[in-house]
Amino acid sequence: MALLAGVYLADCFNYLTSPGAGLTFRVEGRSGDLRVTTGPYSFDPWLGYVIVKDVKVRGEAGDLMASAEELRVGFPYNPASKGPVWDAWARGVWVGLERDSEGHFSFLDYLPEPTDEPSDQAYRVRVDELSVGLTDRAGGEVWSRTVRVSNLDAEGVGDLFVAVGEIAIEGSSGSFLAKVRSGAPGKVLASAQLRQVELSEVIRRLQVTPELAEFDLLRGFQVGRLVADGDLNLAFGEDPSASFVGDLIGEQPVWQEYGLDRLTFRGSIGESGAAGYATARSRGASSEGRIELSWGEESRLQFWGKASLSDSASLPPFLARHVPGGWSFQGAVFRGPVVWTDREGLHAGGEAEVRQFAVGDVDAADLRLQLSAATDKWALRVSSGSVEGAKLEGRADFDATSRAISGGFKLAGLDLARVPALHGVEDVFGSVDSEGLLSGTIEAPVVSVRSEGLLGLTLSSTSVRMGAVQLAGTYQGDRIRIDRFLAADGFGVFSATGRIGLSDGSISGTLLASGVDISVLYEGLSGTASSLLEISGTLDDPQYRGRLEAFSTEFADQGAPLISADIEGDLGTLRAKSWTVLRGASRLEGDLVLDFDSRQVSGAMRGPSLEVGDLLGPDYSGALMLVSGSISGTLDSPAVSGSLAGRNLVARGTRIDSLSAQVDLS
């Protein structure tokens, strides 16, 4: 009998240790059964493990949900827990996870009904190679990726567990060590050590998932490449949460209308916001500083740091659209806080520096500014800088909605030769101090200016200082209106009003000159003159027409108490029409043309009444008539010729009844 019993036990032992036929059984789920099939299996009696090959798990419709090349399961005794431990090891495991268009995972239908009974069963699961085939149809498009997990190790007791594994996602460079553990009742905690993991593909998928499709921060966000290096923490359950601490590097990120070439971030990101240090570069623009970002009912971004722009072409679109044509700058730097919210838009305040700034033909340099900006209102305070070489101080306020501007400025030491309205006019020189007011709009500004300083002109190659000058005028609509011009010196007093067209250089106005010292204008002449002139033409070629009166004039040892003429001309030529010279009872009249550059003179004259005594002195008396005459030569060497006639003349006591002569004088 003992022999028979021994033979029976040996036969049972051989049955358990030899490969057996495959198994098929069902596992009951919530809304369907799982069908499990296996290949050959064996039992290790020494270790107490069942070893199963080729395990497959199929759903109700026969679809493959999971598989394993080899599975080893046992219940070894654990001295620490003083009981058996459910221990499993597997390799070559594949799990399929599929989510439908409504965001529901199919495997949830096969989970057993939850129970309130606590479990104290200890367990440990190790998987050498795990592949998860993820198919997500949520969001209206199919997204399929493979997630590979190596060296997965999980252990726990009842509802308490911890799992660790190395994870790599198809389409993302790099891998990361992940850890999942149980937390408070009903909560699961996960963490991952990301090391140079590329996440742009994941971000693009999250944007179309139902859970995040309405998330404002992700809406309109695109990125060419996003690399993460840091610690990711997730919580699942009733109050899910997520956080990240580490570095993010984004290439070609675009959010709505804000685009960058490269963005780096070092800090933390949580479920309600982010905080850290960021740097950004884009098309000649760069920024760096502390950044805080929050989202929820209101999205809010705060930045404290420095932003640089190489030129106006590097302005982001949301700022560039407020800059009118003809405005440009180079080398701009801003330091200070910037706040943006989705409700109120942009707010900024701080200090700015601009190396060069231009509005049309006006150039400014080395500007230091105090900037206060909102989405639709901007304010600038210029503490120092220069415009066309003059020191600048000022302020300007801008309303982006109405495009209205207002403000004021002061300029010290403005070189008139550098004023854009006088570019190319080499005959004007001097320096003034100015102050003005700004109004109107960006497209149609109005600038009212008052200036004081020194003014000079170059006439006939001679520099003439007009002395102290006062000017009041208004720039509007491409024109300068001169409301008041006054220049006074020993040279004379000048006042004027008029208009200057900046686009065509046209000028028009009235000039009044009084007490002008003629000797300053023309060498060889002396006396004073007054004139009222109408000005026209252009800045390059001004024309004048009016009336001239000269007093106590002397030329070539000849004097004339009064000379009057209707004159016209330009900077190179003077034409005197119907000029009249009075000396005592003598009267001489005619027409004259004077070329300032060559000093050439030409013209005709006549003398209806010439008292000889007025011309030759008290030893002579009687009246002459210059029937016809002409003037030629230069101011330095004039020539006069003409026909004289006279009656009843006395020359040093000698009576002459009549006289007729041809006279040539030089």
Q: Of 84-98, 256-270, 437-451, 610-624, which range is least confident?
A: 610-624
Q: How does the average pLDDT of the chain come out, rounded?
A: 82
Got the DSSP string for 513-582? Answer: EEEEEHHHHSTTEEEEEEEEEEEEEBSSSEEEEEEEEEEEEEETTEEEEEEEEEEEEESSEEEEEEEEEE
More confident residue, 308 or 323: 308
Dist CA 247 CA 278 (whole Å): 10
**Dihedrals phi, psi of 238, to nearest 5 degrees:** -65, -40
Give the pTM. 0.65
User: pLDDT tens digit string along 269-302?
Assistant: 887 889 999 998 988 889 999 999 887 777 888 9
**Which helix (H) or strand (E) covers residue 10, if one does?**
helix 2-17
Sign of CA dihedral 650, 656, 658, 661: negative
What beta strand segments (E) does 92-212 contain? Answer: 93-99, 122-136, 143-157, 160-169, 176-182, 188-198
Instruction: Give me 102's structure tokens.
Output: 């409504």
* 631, 604 Cβ separation under 8 angstroms: yes
* Residues in a beta bridge with 437: 408, 448
What percent of the chain lies above the pLDDT cut of 90? 24
CB atoms within 10 A of CB 334: 21
The distance of Cα 81 from the centroid of its chain, to the nearest Å, equals 68
The distance of Cα 245 from the centroid of its chain, to the nearest Å, equals 32
For 385, left (φ over 0), alpha (ψ -120 to 50), or beta? left
Residue 378: the pLDDT is: 85
- Cβ-count burial 516-542 (b if 16+ within 10 Å, e if not): bbbebbbeebbbbbbbebebbeebeeb
pLDDT surpassing 60 at residue 14? no
Q: pLDDT category, 3, cuts 50, 70, 90?
A: very low
Closest CA to 73 of 57, 97, 55: 55
In terms of residues, how long is the chain?
666
State how far the alpha carbon of 9 is from the alpha carbons of 1, 6, 46, 496, 642, in Å.
12, 5, 16, 132, 163
For the chain, the distance separating the N- and C-terminal CA atoms, rounded to the nearest angstrom, is 171
Domain boundaries, given as residue ranges, for the chain? 19-115+124-136, 584-666
Q: pLDDT category, 81, cuts 50, 70, 90?
A: low
